[in-house]
Structure 1
Amino acid sequence: MLDLHQIFIMQKKALFFLLALCVLGWGITPYGSIFLGLGLGAFFGTYNFWILTRRMDRFDRNLEVGKKTASLGTALRFGSGVAAAAVALTLPQYFHLISTIVGLMIPYVFLFVGAFVSLVKKSSNGK
Protein backbone atom coordinates (compact mmCIF):
# COMPACT_ATOMS: atom_id res chain seq x y z
CA MET A 1 0.00 0.00 0.00
CA LEU A 2 1.11 3.53 -0.61
CA ASP A 3 2.50 5.57 2.23
CA LEU A 4 0.83 8.78 3.37
CA HIS A 5 3.26 11.07 1.52
CA GLN A 6 2.62 9.39 -1.83
CA ILE A 7 -1.11 9.65 -1.22
CA PHE A 8 -0.74 13.34 -0.38
CA ILE A 9 1.22 13.96 -3.60
CA MET A 10 -1.56 12.27 -5.59
CA GLN A 11 -4.10 14.34 -3.65
CA LYS A 12 -2.35 17.56 -4.64
CA LYS A 13 -2.40 16.58 -8.30
CA ALA A 14 -6.09 15.73 -8.08
CA LEU A 15 -6.76 19.02 -6.26
CA PHE A 16 -5.12 21.06 -9.04
CA PHE A 17 -7.21 19.21 -11.60
CA LEU A 18 -10.37 19.77 -9.53
CA LEU A 19 -9.58 23.45 -9.05
CA ALA A 20 -9.10 23.82 -12.80
CA LEU A 21 -12.51 22.21 -13.35
CA CYS A 22 -14.02 24.53 -10.73
CA VAL A 23 -12.57 27.58 -12.48
CA LEU A 24 -13.97 26.36 -15.80
CA GLY A 25 -17.35 25.66 -14.19
CA TRP A 26 -17.33 29.07 -12.55
CA GLY A 27 -16.52 30.83 -15.81
CA ILE A 28 -18.71 28.85 -18.20
CA THR A 29 -21.81 27.73 -16.31
CA PRO A 30 -24.44 29.77 -14.47
CA TYR A 31 -23.61 27.81 -11.28
CA GLY A 32 -20.54 29.83 -10.36
CA SER A 33 -21.15 29.89 -6.61
CA ILE A 34 -21.46 26.09 -6.51
CA PHE A 35 -18.13 25.62 -8.29
CA LEU A 36 -16.44 28.24 -6.11
CA GLY A 37 -17.81 26.49 -3.02
CA LEU A 38 -16.46 23.14 -4.22
CA GLY A 39 -13.07 24.70 -4.85
CA LEU A 40 -12.99 26.42 -1.47
CA GLY A 41 -13.98 23.24 0.33
CA ALA A 42 -11.49 21.11 -1.60
CA PHE A 43 -8.73 23.59 -0.81
CA PHE A 44 -9.47 23.53 2.91
CA GLY A 45 -9.94 19.74 2.81
CA THR A 46 -6.51 19.29 1.26
CA TYR A 47 -5.08 21.60 3.90
CA ASN A 48 -6.68 19.35 6.54
CA PHE A 49 -5.15 16.28 4.91
CA TRP A 50 -1.75 17.99 4.90
CA ILE A 51 -2.12 18.67 8.63
CA LEU A 52 -3.02 15.01 9.17
CA THR A 53 0.03 13.88 7.17
CA ARG A 54 2.35 16.10 9.21
CA ARG A 55 0.88 14.98 12.51
CA MET A 56 1.07 11.30 11.53
CA ASP A 57 4.77 11.75 10.75
CA ARG A 58 5.31 13.34 14.15
CA PHE A 59 3.27 10.58 15.78
CA ASP A 60 5.40 7.88 14.09
CA ARG A 61 8.68 9.56 15.10
CA ASN A 62 7.52 9.95 18.70
CA LEU A 63 6.33 6.35 18.80
CA GLU A 64 9.76 5.13 17.64
CA VAL A 65 11.55 6.93 20.47
CA GLY A 66 8.89 6.09 23.06
CA LYS A 67 7.64 9.64 23.49
CA LYS A 68 3.96 10.47 23.90
CA THR A 69 2.08 12.58 21.37
CA ALA A 70 -0.64 14.94 22.51
CA SER A 71 -2.97 14.76 19.51
CA LEU A 72 -3.23 14.33 15.76
CA GLY A 73 -4.43 17.89 15.17
CA THR A 74 -8.15 17.22 15.34
CA ALA A 75 -8.94 20.64 16.77
CA LEU A 76 -6.90 22.39 14.08
CA ARG A 77 -8.61 20.42 11.30
CA PHE A 78 -12.02 21.09 12.84
CA GLY A 79 -11.19 24.79 13.05
CA SER A 80 -10.17 24.78 9.39
CA GLY A 81 -13.52 23.26 8.44
CA VAL A 82 -15.30 25.91 10.49
CA ALA A 83 -13.24 28.59 8.73
CA ALA A 84 -14.29 27.27 5.31
CA ALA A 85 -17.94 27.27 6.37
CA ALA A 86 -17.55 30.76 7.84
CA VAL A 87 -16.18 32.07 4.55
CA ALA A 88 -19.10 30.49 2.68
CA LEU A 89 -21.61 31.92 5.16
CA THR A 90 -20.02 35.36 5.11
CA LEU A 91 -19.91 35.58 1.31
CA PRO A 92 -23.00 33.67 0.09
CA GLN A 93 -23.07 35.61 -3.18
CA TYR A 94 -19.74 33.95 -4.11
CA PHE A 95 -19.67 30.58 -2.27
CA HIS A 96 -22.42 27.99 -1.96
CA LEU A 97 -22.42 26.55 1.59
CA ILE A 98 -23.48 22.97 0.78
CA SER A 99 -20.93 22.65 -2.03
CA THR A 100 -18.26 23.99 0.33
CA ILE A 101 -19.08 21.23 2.81
CA VAL A 102 -19.06 18.64 0.03
CA GLY A 103 -15.71 20.04 -1.12
CA LEU A 104 -14.29 19.52 2.38
CA MET A 105 -14.95 15.79 1.98
CA ILE A 106 -13.44 15.45 -1.51
CA PRO A 107 -9.85 14.71 -0.33
CA TYR A 108 -11.16 11.87 1.83
CA VAL A 109 -13.09 10.46 -1.13
CA PHE A 110 -9.85 10.64 -3.12
CA LEU A 111 -8.15 8.80 -0.26
CA PHE A 112 -10.66 5.94 -0.32
CA VAL A 113 -10.61 5.71 -4.12
CA GLY A 114 -6.81 5.64 -4.11
CA ALA A 115 -6.75 2.93 -1.47
CA PHE A 116 -9.29 0.89 -3.43
CA VAL A 117 -7.34 1.24 -6.69
CA SER A 118 -4.13 0.28 -4.91
CA LEU A 119 -5.85 -2.78 -3.42
CA VAL A 120 -7.22 -3.84 -6.80
CA LYS A 121 -3.82 -3.41 -8.47
CA LYS A 122 -2.14 -5.36 -5.68
CA SER A 123 -4.63 -8.23 -5.92
CA SER A 124 -4.44 -8.36 -9.74
CA ASN A 125 -0.63 -8.50 -9.63
CA GLY A 126 -0.79 -11.39 -7.18
CA LYS A 127 -2.84 -13.62 -9.51
Structure 2
Amino acid sequence: MLDLHRIFEKQKKGLFFLLALCVSGWFFTSYPTIFAGIGIGAVFGTYNFWILVRRMDKFDRSYQEGKRISLGSGLRFASAIAAVAIPIAFPEYFNVVSSVIGLMIPYVFLFIEALYSLFKTEK
Protein backbone atom coordinates (compact mmCIF):
# COMPACT_ATOMS: atom_id res chain seq x y z
CA MET A 1 0.00 0.00 0.00
CA LEU A 2 1.18 3.53 -0.74
CA ASP A 3 2.36 5.67 2.13
CA LEU A 4 -0.47 8.19 2.23
CA HIS A 5 1.37 10.51 4.60
CA ARG A 6 4.26 10.85 2.16
CA ILE A 7 1.85 11.49 -0.70
CA PHE A 8 -0.04 14.04 1.37
CA GLU A 9 3.19 15.92 2.13
CA LYS A 10 3.96 16.04 -1.59
CA GLN A 11 0.43 17.22 -2.29
CA LYS A 12 0.73 20.07 0.19
CA LYS A 13 3.84 21.28 -1.61
CA GLY A 14 2.06 20.95 -4.93
CA LEU A 15 -0.95 22.80 -3.53
CA PHE A 16 1.17 25.79 -2.55
CA PHE A 17 2.70 25.86 -6.03
CA LEU A 18 -0.76 25.56 -7.62
CA LEU A 19 -2.15 28.33 -5.41
CA ALA A 20 0.75 30.57 -6.42
CA LEU A 21 -0.09 29.88 -10.07
CA CYS A 22 -3.76 30.60 -9.40
CA VAL A 23 -2.98 33.91 -7.70
CA SER A 24 -0.71 34.85 -10.60
CA GLY A 25 -3.40 33.87 -13.09
CA TRP A 26 -6.00 35.75 -11.10
CA PHE A 27 -3.95 38.96 -11.14
CA PHE A 28 -2.35 38.85 -14.57
CA THR A 29 -4.86 37.21 -16.92
CA SER A 30 -8.31 38.08 -18.12
CA TYR A 31 -9.75 34.90 -16.52
CA PRO A 32 -9.74 35.61 -12.77
CA THR A 33 -12.89 33.58 -12.05
CA ILE A 34 -11.39 30.43 -13.57
CA PHE A 35 -8.19 30.67 -11.54
CA ALA A 36 -10.13 31.50 -8.37
CA GLY A 37 -12.35 28.45 -8.98
CA ILE A 38 -9.36 26.16 -9.46
CA GLY A 39 -7.80 27.55 -6.31
CA ILE A 40 -10.85 27.08 -4.11
CA GLY A 41 -11.46 23.61 -5.55
CA ALA A 42 -7.85 22.58 -4.91
CA VAL A 43 -8.04 23.79 -1.30
CA PHE A 44 -11.22 21.80 -0.66
CA GLY A 45 -9.79 18.79 -2.51
CA THR A 46 -6.66 18.83 -0.38
CA TYR A 47 -8.83 19.12 2.73
CA ASN A 48 -10.79 16.06 1.57
CA PHE A 49 -7.58 14.13 1.01
CA TRP A 50 -6.36 15.13 4.48
CA ILE A 51 -9.61 13.78 5.94
CA LEU A 52 -9.09 10.55 4.00
CA VAL A 53 -5.52 10.14 5.30
CA ARG A 54 -6.62 10.78 8.87
CA ARG A 55 -9.54 8.36 8.59
CA MET A 56 -7.35 5.66 7.05
CA ASP A 57 -5.08 5.85 10.10
CA LYS A 58 -8.09 5.48 12.40
CA PHE A 59 -9.43 2.66 10.24
CA ASP A 60 -6.13 0.76 10.45
CA ARG A 61 -6.00 1.10 14.23
CA SER A 62 -9.64 0.10 14.64
CA TYR A 63 -9.24 -2.86 12.32
CA GLN A 64 -6.32 -4.14 14.39
CA GLU A 65 -8.44 -3.79 17.53
CA GLY A 66 -11.43 -5.49 15.89
CA LYS A 67 -13.67 -2.39 15.88
CA ARG A 68 -15.61 -0.93 12.97
CA ILE A 69 -15.31 2.65 11.80
CA SER A 70 -16.41 4.61 8.75
CA LEU A 71 -14.03 6.39 6.41
CA GLY A 72 -15.75 9.77 6.77
CA SER A 73 -17.49 9.87 3.42
CA GLY A 74 -20.22 12.18 4.71
CA LEU A 75 -17.74 14.86 5.75
CA ARG A 76 -15.94 14.65 2.41
CA PHE A 77 -19.25 14.87 0.51
CA ALA A 78 -20.24 17.93 2.55
CA SER A 79 -16.89 19.54 1.79
CA ALA A 80 -17.30 18.84 -1.92
CA ILE A 81 -20.78 20.34 -1.82
CA ALA A 82 -19.34 23.45 -0.14
CA ALA A 83 -16.64 23.65 -2.82
CA VAL A 84 -19.38 23.84 -5.44
CA ALA A 85 -21.88 25.90 -3.43
CA ILE A 86 -19.48 28.80 -2.98
CA PRO A 87 -18.99 29.34 -6.75
CA ILE A 88 -22.73 28.93 -7.31
CA ALA A 89 -23.41 31.60 -4.69
CA PHE A 90 -20.72 33.94 -6.02
CA PRO A 91 -20.51 33.39 -9.80
CA GLU A 92 -18.93 36.80 -10.35
CA TYR A 93 -15.86 35.67 -8.35
CA PHE A 94 -15.61 31.91 -9.02
CA ASN A 95 -16.22 29.55 -11.93
CA VAL A 96 -18.18 26.40 -11.03
CA VAL A 97 -16.58 24.08 -13.58
CA SER A 98 -13.05 25.10 -12.66
CA SER A 99 -13.79 24.58 -8.95
CA VAL A 100 -14.91 21.02 -9.71
CA ILE A 101 -11.72 20.51 -11.70
CA GLY A 102 -9.71 21.91 -8.79
CA LEU A 103 -11.54 19.59 -6.41
CA MET A 104 -10.25 16.58 -8.36
CA ILE A 105 -6.62 17.72 -8.59
CA PRO A 106 -5.43 15.93 -5.39
CA TYR A 107 -6.93 12.66 -6.62
CA VAL A 108 -5.18 13.06 -9.97
CA PHE A 109 -1.93 13.59 -8.05
CA LEU A 110 -2.69 10.43 -6.05
CA PHE A 111 -3.23 8.45 -9.26
CA ILE A 112 0.00 9.78 -10.77
CA GLU A 113 1.92 8.90 -7.59
CA ALA A 114 0.44 5.39 -7.63
CA LEU A 115 1.54 4.89 -11.25
CA TYR A 116 4.98 6.25 -10.45
CA SER A 117 5.34 3.88 -7.49
CA LEU A 118 4.15 0.97 -9.60
CA PHE A 119 6.68 1.58 -12.35
CA LYS A 120 9.43 2.30 -9.83
CA THR A 121 8.94 -1.05 -8.08
CA GLU A 122 8.91 -2.98 -11.37
CA LYS A 123 12.43 -1.84 -12.26
Normalising by structure 2, report the TM-score. 0.96
**Which residues in structure 2 correspond to 1:10-29 (within 5 Å)?**
10-29=10-29
C-alpha distance in 1 between matches for 2:2 and 2:99: 28
Corresponding residue for 1:110?
A: 109
Could you tell me how far apart the structure 1 residues matched to 2:52 and 2:61 are?
A: 14
Mapped pair 1:51 → 2:51: yes
C-alpha distance in 2, partners of 1:30/1:78? 32
Matched residue type, 1:31: Y
Query: What do you get for the CA RMSD once the two structures are aligned?
Result: 0.9
Q: Which residues of structure 2 form unaligned runs of 5+?
A: none
The alpha carbon displacement at 1:52 in A equals: 0.5
Q: Which residue matches 2:35? A: 35
Aligned partner letter, 1:41 = G
Q: Deviations over 1:56-100 (max 9, x none)?
A: 00000001111111x111010000011111110111111000000
CA distance in 1, matches of 2:23, 2:116: 27
Deviation at 1:2, TM superposition (A): 3.5
Distance 1:118 1:21 in 2: 27
Instruction: Report the Cα distance in structure 2 between the residues aligned to 1:68 and 1:85, rounded to whole angstroms.
Output: 31
Letter in structure 1 aligned against 2:62: N
Runs (4 or more) in structure 1 with deviation over 4 Å come to: none
Counterpart code for 2:103: L
Equivalent residue pairs, number: 123
* Distance apart, 1:123 and its partner CA: 1.8
**Gapped regions of structure 1 (runs ≥ 5):** none
